[in-house]
Structure 1
Amino acid sequence: MDLTLSTCFVLVHDPELAVGFYRDVLGLEVRNDVKREDYRWITVGSPAQPGVSIVLTNYLNGSPADADALAGLMAKGALSGVNFHTADLDAAFDKLRAADAEIVQEPTDQPWGTRDCAVRDPSGNMVRIDQPPA
């Protein structure tokens, strides 16, 4: 079996705030924006990886109790987010700080060989960015 990653979904509470963060702060391009009733599916991705997309959505296929449980997890920052690579972690971190992103971890050398930082998106999802060793 030969599999490649195509798309992952990140649940957000406010699609407009999310697209502002992922597009304007992280520099991802908006590839698609679909609205239906109160829900949105905004597809973003890196120009360097045209075959890989992230869908930012406020749609949850579940009951109102599921939506409440998810909102609680998002508020705590308990959901997994996305991880990115960059060639210049310090520049990326400076941009995040200038955008007033919620800093979880400043750039740190990790014992497994990479250097990374972590922030939360406007919905509380963890976003980690690493600079792999040269």
Structure 2
Amino acid sequence: MITGIDVVFIHAKDPEIMVHWYRDVLGLEVGLKTDDLSWLEFRFNDDRPPTRFALERFSGEKQSIMISLRVNDIRSVIQELESRGVEFLGEDKVQPEGVSLYATLQDPEGNLIQLSQRRTE
């Protein structure tokens, strides 16, 4: 059902400062990024498909880190988890975004978790 970690999100109020720190201080290699730095991914080795570590522009959110769990068949995983009482957020449970389809749920303490299926798989 869950095959690995797809994305670890760092919600950043000031992505420019965060990019400098992760790139220049920690030495991570910048991968995919938008011109306005609303989305930026760092690369790790030749991981295929890559585990993504991403900065995403957000302001004022309580939760500063979110994990996205990789799945092979998002719709069947949603069906299985719903049978276990899990509720998903949004009218349309599955959303397209970039190279992935994703669905968002909450853990018992209200932390957001995503399920992510790569469209290229």
Please, what TM-score do these two structures have when normalized by structure 2?
0.43
More helix by share: 1
Greater relative contact order: 1 or 2 (C-alpha under 8 angstroms, separation 6 or more)? 2
More strand by share: 2
Please, what TM-score do these two structures have when normalized by structure 1?
0.40
